[in-house]
């Protein structure tokens, strides 16, 4: 026999939230219902699913708006990461998603490293476009410039702090 149930969550190979599906009695009784993944088809269950769907849609809208605002902030970021290089401008290490997340955090932009999409770690100098998946529908791109550590160190030390007059007199 088959039982009709309303799915409360996405179930792989079965359906999405809110769909009415027919499943075997044992599957519904032993798996879907005890885990809270589905409800038996009743009038009250349909109303409950509709209430949950409205809450989920509003939560989804808020998350999407937050992701779009973060994407706009990331578009304005010019990220530069300094790394040690060898004689022929080859990197000694590589730049990973963790390095990029730390560089963004230094600019007060918090992004989970797992949302930064890199096929492989960056192992060359220059500009690299990195995609960050902030939300299911909202990707962002950041240009990461990998520079030699010596160049970054000399750029910051090129303008030494001016000595204060009379500091030696004390």
14-34 pLDDT tens trace: 988 888 899 999 999 999 999
How is the chain split into domains, by residue range?
2-66, 70-157
Topology at the third CATH level for domain 2-66: Ribosomal Protein L9; domain 1 (3.40.5)
Topology at the third CATH level for domain 70-157: Ribosomal Protein L9; domain 2 (3.10.430)
pTM of the model: 0.60
Q: Is the pLDDT of residue 133 over 70?
A: yes
**167: confidence class by pLDDT, cuts 50, 70, 90:** very low
d(CA 63, CA 68): 9
């Amino acid at each position: 026999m088959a039982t009709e149930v309303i799915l409360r969550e996405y179930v792989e190979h079965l359906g999405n939230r809110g769909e009415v599906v027919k499943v075997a009695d044992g599957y519904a009784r032993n798996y879907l219902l005890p885990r809270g993944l589905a409800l038996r088809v009743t009038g009250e269950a349909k109303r409950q699913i509709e209430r949950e769907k409205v809450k989920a849609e509003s939560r989804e809208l808020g998350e999407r708006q937050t992701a779009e605002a973060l994407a706009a902030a990331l578009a304005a970021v010019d990220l530069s990461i300094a790394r040690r290089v060898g004689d022929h401008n080859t990197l000694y290490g590589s730049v990973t998603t963790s390095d990029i997340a730390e560089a963004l955090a230094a600019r007060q932009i918090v992004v989970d490293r797992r949302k930064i999409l890199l096929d492989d770690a960056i192992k060359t100098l220059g500009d690299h476009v990195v995609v960050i998946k902030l939300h299911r529908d909202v990707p962002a791109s950041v240009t990461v410039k990998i520079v030699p550590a010596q160049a970054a160190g000399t750029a910051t030390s090129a303008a030494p702090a001016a000595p204060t007059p009379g500091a030696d007199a004390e």
